[in-house]
Amino acid sequence: MKKMFLTSAVLAIAGVGLVAGSAMALGFSSTGYVDPNYNDSWDSTSLTGTALFEFYIDETWPQVNRVTIELDDDIFTGITASDFTVLNPSGWTTSVYTGTSGNVFDVSLAGVLATSTNDPIQITFDYTLLDEDMYDNASEGVPGGWDWDEGQAWGLAYTLDYGFYTPHPLTGSPVFVALDTSGGSTAPVPEPATMLLFGTGLAGLAGVVRKKRKNS
């Protein structure tokens, strides 16, 4: 499973090629998180649970009207469009398609445009794992048991886009042309204990700096 140890990325995608022409896509920064055990939903008997994806637009100017999440076919089973619900913004629809590699792509399309002022984009995913080992067999050092020995825990690729659909000049099938785009890989939502430890470390570092300034 392809993994990227990223929580934020800036992509400058040079064009969506069409037979009749091309469009240049501007890149912007975004951050993606996932809570794979949303509302303590994991059930080891049925191998089911609900994940919450949250995507933040890190700049003030972009507008997003499409979100794509790549789901690996060696992890999940039986994925359908009804497994996804866009909680925020309102009025979005969702569909799925299978790529050439076998991986499934969820595509959510905008009702209300997503901007940095109505962050985050929130999407729930009701999933079924192929087997319980994928939940239990986490790599060492990854809290929560969500690694499945495949790299970063729940590091699923995503793309945020602003653009439009247009008919392909040869086939007539709809083709999405991205004008603004951003992508990366989701990272697990930080645990409260981890955030507390991080905050304590920052406070201690600030104290050391103040002490050195006072002594000098």
- The pLDDT tens digits for 38-57 are 999 988 889 899 999 999 99
Residue 195 falls inside a structural domain: no
Residue (of 125, 122, 123, 101) closest to 50 by Cα position: 125
Q: Is 131 helix (H, G, I), strand (E, B) or coil?
A: coil
Beta-carbon count within 10 A of 69 CB: 24
Residue 215 falls inside a structural domain: no
CA distance 48 to 36: 11
CATH of the domain at 182: 2.60.40
Residue 196 falls inside a structural domain: no
Q: Using 50, 70 and 90 to split pLDDT, how confident is the model at 209? A: very low
CA distance 205 to 207: 5
Residue 207 falls inside a structural domain: no
φ, ψ dihedrals at 199, nearest 5°: -65, -40
| 188 within 8 A of 36, measured Cβ to Cβ | yes
User: Mean pLDDT over all residues of the chain?
Assistant: 76
Residue (of 41, 37, 16) closest to 26 by Cα position: 16
Residue (of 63, 57, 83) closest to 71 by Cα position: 83
pLDDT by residue (tens digit) across 90-111? 999 999 999 988 889 999 999 8
Residue 52 falls inside a structural domain: yes
| Half-sphere exposure of residue 79: CA atoms within 13 angstroms, side-chain side | 28
Residue 206 falls inside a structural domain: no
Residue 205 falls inside a structural domain: no
Number of domains in the chain: 1
Find the domain containing 106 and state its range.
8-189
| pTM score, whole prediction | 0.74
CA distance 108 to 87: 11
Residue 202 falls inside a structural domain: no
CA 94, 92, 3, 76 torsion-angle sign: negative
Question: Which amino acid makes up residue 72?
Answer: D
